[in-house]
Amino acid sequence: MALGGPLYRMSFSHRRDYYAGALMVLVGGGAAIIGSRYQMGSLTRMGPGYFPTVLGVILAFIGLVIAGSAAYVAPAAAEAPSLRPDWRGWLCIAAAALLFIGLARYAGLVAATFVCVFVAALGDRENSWKESALLAAGVTVFGVLLFAFVLHVQIPIFGGM
């Protein structure tokens, strides 16, 4: 099996370790480059840059090994559950968290809680609008009682911070 063979003909599960290794090279390399801008110092008197640079280099090296050994993964071991992109679920979950941030800042706990749960619930294809709204209402009542009145979380119930 030749290293660097025709990648485009491989399935994602075969290319997975190339990507995995590349990601680690990227992160490790980045950390090493940023780390080397801090003062390095010597072994006796280590500066703040020493440890991150060393870690970054090791991580990048491991990334290379991961990518390098990807070619040797037996097909049986590389088999994986089918990978269906689920944009609806992903977008709804990300949007729910972002909306929580925005609404907690400007509209208060009730709005933030309701919208967060409602939007996240819509991410599941089996949830109807009505079910999602009911769930969101339930969590809002419980959540406001618990977090605003019992635990005194620092978000106003209505209105901005």
Partner 1 sequence: MDTGFGDLIHGFGVALQWQNLVYCLIGVLAGNLVGVLPGMGVLSAISILLPLTYGMPPVGAVLMLAGLAYGAQYGGAICSILLNLPCHPPHAVTCLDGFPLTKQGKGGTALGITMMGAVFGAAFGIIQMIFTAPYIARIAFSFGSAEICSLMLLGLLAGSTLAKGSPLKGVAMTILGLLLGLVGQDANTGVERFTFGIIDLDDGVELVALSLGLFGIAEFLRGVNNTAPIDTAYAKLGVSDMRPSRADMKRAAFPILRGTLIGSLCSMIPGTGPTIASFVAYAAEKKISKTPERFGHGAIEGVAAPESSTHSSVQGDFIPTMSLGIPGDAVMALLLGALIIHGVQPGPRLIIEHADIFWGLIASFWIGNLMLIFLNVPMIGIWVKMLMVPYRFLFPSALFFICIGVFAAKNTLFDVGTTLFFGLFGYLLLLLRFEPAPILLGFVLGPRFEENFRRALVIAHGDLNTFVERPISAVFLALCLLLVGTQVWVRLRGPKTRIPTTLLETE
Q: Pick out residues in 117-136 that bind partner 1 (CB under 8 A).
A: 117-118, 120-121, 123-127, 132, 135-136
Residue 154 burial (CB count, 10 A): 9
Residues 5-64 that bind partner 1 (CB under 8 A): 16-17, 19-20, 23-24, 27-28, 31, 34-35, 38-39, 42-48, 51-52, 55-56, 58-59, 62-63
Whichever of 4 and 42 has its CB closer to partner 1, that residue is: 42
- Shortest Å distance, C-beta 133 to partner 1: 11
Whichever of 71 and 127 has its CB closer to partner 1, that residue is: 127
- Tokens for 38? 């801090």
Residues 75-104 that bind partner 1 (CB under 8 A): 77, 80, 83-84, 86, 88-90, 92-94, 96-98, 100-101, 104
d(CA 66, CA 7): 16
Eight-class DSSP state of 48: T
Task: Collect all residues with Cβ–Cβ distance below 8 Å to 148 and sequence separation of at least 6.
Answer: 109, 155, 157
Nearest to 24 by CA among 77, 73, 67: 67
